[in-house]
Amino acid sequence: MAKQKFVYFFGEGKAEGDAKMKELLGGKGANLAEMTNLGIPVPPGFTISTEVCAAYYENKQKYPEGLEKEVLDNLTKLEKVMGKKLGDPEDPLLVSVRSGAAVSMPGMMDTILNLGMNDKAVVGLANKTGNPRFAWDAYRRFIQMYGDIVMGIPHDEFEEALAAMKKAKKVELDTGLDAKDLENLVVEYKKIYKKHTKKDFPQNPLDQLWGAINAVFGSWMNERAIKYRELNNIKGLKGTAVNVQSMVFGNFGDDSGTGVCFSRDPSTGKNEFYGEFLMNAQGEDVVAGIRTPEKIATLAKKNKKVYEQLLDIKDKLENHFRDMQDMEFTVQQGVLYILQTRNGKRAGAAAVKIAVDMVAEGLIDKETAIKRVTPEHLDQLLHPMIDPKALKGIKPLTKGLNASPGAACGRIVFTAKDAEEWAERGEKVLLVRKDTSPEDIGGMVVSEGILTSTGGMTSHAAVVARGMGTPCVAGAKGVSVQGKKVVIGEKTFKEGDWITIDGSTGDVYEGQFPLISPKMSKDLETFLSWCDKVCADSVRGNVKGFLVRTNADQPEDAKRAFDFGAQGVGLCRTEHMFFDKEKLIHFRTMIVADTEEARKEALKKILPLQKKDFFGIFKAMEGRPVTIRLLDPPLHEFVPHTKEEVAELAEHLGVKPKDLQPKIDKLHEANPMLGHRGCRLAVTYPEIYDMQVEAIVLAAIDCVKKNIPVKPEIMIPIVCDEQELALLRPRAEAIIKKNLEKAKVKLDIQIGTMIEVPRAALLADKIAAFADFFSFGTNDLTQMTFAFSRDDVGSFMPAYEKLGLLDVDPFKSVDEEGVGMLMNWATTKGRSVKSDLKVGICGEQGGDPATIDFCFRTGLNYVSCSPFRVPIARLTAAQAVLRNTKK
């Protein structure tokens, strides 16, 4: 067997790796190699593969044999290419040691710059470059990073020493310190190093190199990296790679600088070169948000040639990778270098716009576009914004950068820890800080929004907030955090005060504002129409389409869902129509009535009310199918419980409460969820369903007469045996027929059933004989399959999840193994007797991406979810089709 290769060189226009090798070289390493091959100016270096990281953890943190030699050989090669040697007292080579896994984890792992610096090299570098200030700055940065990352010395201590030096010299910025100051700072830094490690700062560059490599591999398993992977559900990676790369210096002087740029605007998606930079600074200064950087366009004024070269490169990279690129660059004495490129993270609006634009530009096809937008992106677009009416005449306190879109209101907290504690108590919090760093991640997750006073669009706060879809205003100069107080504009706020931020505009407001949900943009409509096409073209069973319907009980819900692109109503629950105060009294009258006549009398009063609601829903759906479920909940829920309710009903009936009470007592059930509910109500009181069916037909007839297209479907719940349907279906058919004939209207009204009792799923072939369609009621089906009471899971589900007894909450995402087996069986059995049986899902899980994928695989024809989830479901449904359909 050939010897395993651990290290991959890149430099001088060719590389041993390429962009396809992300798994092995990490995203950063693979793209450094690819850029090198493309002839883009990348400082040479080499990448130690992710397999070494995996081996390191498998083998009690020891490296595989042969690694050391391979690293040293590549170092020698690098020294040759650069014409410099690591640690050389005359003309030292300096390198960066950078982490990078296959999936980008921004700011989650550690990078060390200027490695190779020591007491001799610093002098050599100062002489060689004629720039002692730069040499000492590089050294002090190296001690700080090495101390912090490799030795775990709190970086605050270094920062304090730096601040003290600036104070003593009465300068505001780091750039105000001269060579001598920095030399003195190095002395201070070494003292800090020694105090913590009891050792002198390592002078041997090879010791430094291995210390740094160890630290990068070590960072793979640090808490924040683990937490990041957990939060982003990143699994199955081998580890991080380590990139050792020759340094270029943006802190060389005023003709040098460093920056981050995007080939398109990552917030809006506009096809405009976007980015920011700092002159005379090293990479991490931009990302850390210590100084507020300048807009990329101003680089044209500082160095036109470099700016134009950068424009060329961003076009070249975008065309090459066919996606928006996020690039790091450094200019050393007027010479441009690219240090990183990757497909840029983007806000939801940008994701959609870029996808739509790139299709129009011919860069990608529609399928690729659909795959690139995530449910989270759309979720952001459907984020609330401040009600413009409430904003009328109100001035913001201040304005910062619109770093992550959406509006948020919350109570001010100043630390991530406080954010977590407050959120735990159920408070809505808004994290207000000077800047954020990776250890704040836990607090950022629970915050409604994030406001920072420093840093740019690529600061940690901005990048992480965009990734999480949390609204963020960054770099707000009018914000000054002072301990447990903050001045915003002219006003001082304390912890717990309410503020509102608008991450789409950058505005910050005092107090709480009503938030409203946004409208769909034209780009989003276009994009989702592509998704719909994919869904409409797919065939499941013998029926065309894998569609997204909605759960809507009221005309307004139906209208909203229609606007969001729902292809029908998958579930219209009718019980709310009974709970309505006006109707409830009639229904209560019905359930305590002694005779059929009295029951009919009471139901008559409800009929026109139901009819009106149905008409509204039919109208809103403009001829798309509307599945109406006949009355489902336990009778128990309608029974008057309190004294007042009993008194009210008694008065309505003109009887004494004490005479009414025994009848009510008789309706009591020990186990209502398994009791008198669903179609069992119609077995005992057929008049109820009769009335509902009549209301449906009459509403449909009204539509036909008004030229409104209509497609009602009647759904019978809680069926467990085909005999129930054999009894109820003909009754419904008779009512439909009678009313249609009377009105001289022709209309096809399907009658189907919910599959939500396990027995019904098992006997689906028998049931299918009486049903035009199936709809899986996965709330009850899950409840009855697990024997988990939906209303009581709170008492044990957290423990199940914590102990890993269940991977996912089966009420959020369908349990594929168990419940899914029943769904699969029922679909197959049902279609075995009725090949064109339409099958859908109407449980709460219907909007969950994993469930949607499962439903597609199982052969369902539609999913149904709440109106707000509809756009996301349209995307995930199309993605499921693409993912599971072989070309």
* CB contact set of 222 (below 8 Å; sequence gap of 6+): 109
Residue 780's binding partner among Mg ion, ligand ADP, none (Cβ under 5 to 8 angstroms by kind) is: Mg ion
Q: How far is the CB of 208 from Mg ion (least distance, A)?
A: 21
Pairing mode of beta strands 85-86, 92-93: parallel
Based on the shown chain and the rule CB under 5 A, indicate whether residue 443 belongs to the binding site for Mg ion.
no
What single-letter amino acid sits at 166?
K
Q: Which of 473, 479, 245, 227 is nearest to 339 (CA)?
A: 245
Q: Is 91 annotated as a binding residue?
A: no
Based on the shown chain and the rule CB under 6 A, indicate whether residue 284 belongs to the binding site for ligand ADP.
yes
| Of the residues 147, 283, 410, 712, which one makes contact with ligand ADP according to CB under 6 A | 283
Q: Is 777 annotated as a binding residue?
A: yes
Based on the shown chain and the rule CB under 6 A, indicate whether residue 495 belongs to the binding site for ligand ADP.
no
Q: How far is the CB of 327 from ligand ADP (least distance, A)?
A: 9
| Catalytic-residue membership of 652 | no
Based on the shown chain and the rule CB under 6 A, indicate whether residue 571 belongs to the binding site for ligand ADP.
no
| Catalytic-residue membership of 531 | no
Which tokens hold the place of 646? 């009993």
Closer CB to ligand ADP, 283 or 289, in the complex: 283
Q: Rounded to an integer, what distance in angstroms lies between the CA atom of residue 686 and that of residue 680?
A: 9
Based on the shown chain and the rule CB under 5 A, indicate whether residue 250 belongs to the binding site for Mg ion.
no
Q: Which of 274, 555, 556 is nearest to 402 (CA)?
A: 274
The DSSP symbol for 149 reads: I
* CB contact set of 381 (below 8 Å; sequence gap of 6+): 348, 349, 352, 518, 520, 521, 524, 871
Residue 113's binding partner among Mg ion, ligand ADP, none (Cβ under 5 to 8 angstroms by kind) is: ligand ADP
Q: Rounded to an integer, what distance in angstroms lies between the CA atom of residue 880 and that of residue 668?
A: 46
Q: Where are the alpha helices (DSSP H) in 538-595?
A: 555-563, 576-579, 581-592
Number of residues binding to Mg ion, judged by CB under 5 A: 4
Based on the shown chain and the rule CB under 6 A, indicate whether residue 328 belongs to the binding site for ligand ADP.
yes
In the set 535, 842, 855, 865, the catalytic residue is: 842
Contact map string, positions 745 to 784, toward Mg ion, x by CB under 5 A? -----------x--------------------x--x----
Q: Rounded to an integer, what distance in angstroms lies between the CA atom of residue 202 and that of residue 151?
A: 11
Q: Which of 122, 195, 185, 198 is nearest to 159 (CA)?
A: 185
Task: List beta partners, residue 432.
Answer: 451
Closer CB to ligand ADP, 111 or 861, in the complex: 111
Closer CB to ligand ADP, 101 or 760, in the complex: 101
Helix, strand, coil percentages for the chain (3-state, nearest 5): 50, 20, 35
Based on the shown chain and the rule CB under 6 A, indicate whether residue 339 belongs to the binding site for ligand ADP.
yes
Based on the shown chain and the rule CB under 5 A, indicate whether residue 340 belongs to the binding site for Mg ion.
yes
| DSSP H/E element including 168 | helix 155-168
User: HEC states along 233-290?
Assistant: CCCCCCCEEEEEEECCCCCCCCCCEEEEEECCCCCCCCCCCEEEEEECCCCHHHHHCC
The DSSP symbol for 150 reads: I
Which tokens hold the place of 21? 């090798």
| Of the residues 287, 626, 699, 715, which one makes contact with ligand ADP according to CB under 6 A | 287
Closer CB to ligand ADP, 178 or 284, in the complex: 284
Residue 245's binding partner among Mg ion, ligand ADP, none (Cβ under 5 to 8 angstroms by kind) is: ligand ADP
Closer CB to ligand ADP, 245 or 739, in the complex: 245
Q: How far is the CB of 215 from ligand ADP (least distance, A)?
A: 13
Q: Which of 589, 574, 683 is nearest to 633 (CA)?
A: 574
Which tokens hold the place of 708? 């409104």
Contact map string, positions 29 to 68, toward ligand ADP, x by CB under 6 A? --------------x-------------------------
CB closest to ligand ADP, residue no? 283
Q: Rounded to an integer, what distance in angstroms lies between the CA atom of residue 856 and that of residue 875?
A: 13
Q: How far is the CB of 437 from ligand ADP (least distance, A)?
A: 12
Closer CB to ligand ADP, 330 or 402, in the complex: 330
Q: Is 148 annotated as a binding residue?
A: no
Please say whether the beta carbons of 381 and 350 come within 8 A: no
Q: Which of 500, 308, 310 is nearest to 406 (CA)?
A: 500
Q: Rounded to an integer, what distance in angstroms lies between the CA atom of residue 110 and that of residue 50?
A: 15
Based on the shown chain and the rule CB under 6 A, indicate whether residue 113 belongs to the binding site for ligand ADP.
yes
Residue 827's binding partner among Mg ion, ligand ADP, none (Cβ under 5 to 8 angstroms by kind) is: none
In the set 53, 460, 679, 865, the catalytic residue is: 460
Based on the shown chain and the rule CB under 5 A, indicate whether residue 551 belongs to the binding site for Mg ion.
no
Residue 777's binding partner among Mg ion, ligand ADP, none (Cβ under 5 to 8 angstroms by kind) is: Mg ion
Closer CB to ligand ADP, 259 or 752, in the complex: 259
Q: Is 817 annotated as a binding residue?
A: no
Closer CB to ligand ADP, 251 or 567, in the complex: 251
Return the beta strands (E) in 477-624 as ranges: 479-482, 485-488, 491-494, 498-502, 507-510, 515-516, 539-540, 543-544, 547-551, 569-573
Contact map string, positions 229 to 268, toward ligand ADP, x by CB under 6 A? ----------------x-xx--------------------
Q: Is 573 annotated as a binding residue?
A: yes
Number of residues in the chain: 887
Q: How far is the CB of 777 from Mg ion (least distance, A)?
A: 4
Q: Rounded to an integer, what distance in angstroms lies between the CA atom of residue 564 and that of residue 872?
A: 10
Residue 96's binding partner among Mg ion, ligand ADP, none (Cβ under 5 to 8 angstroms by kind) is: ligand ADP
Binding annotation for substrate: 573, 629, 756, 777-780
**Catalytic sites, residue numbers:** 460, 842
Binding annotation for Mg(2+): 756, 780
Binding annotation: 573, 629, 756, 777-780
Footprint on this chain of ligand ADP (rule: CB under 6 A): 43, 96, 98, 107, 111, 113, 245, 247-248, 283-284, 287, 328, 330, 339-340
Footprint on this chain of Mg ion (rule: CB under 5 A): 340, 756, 777, 780
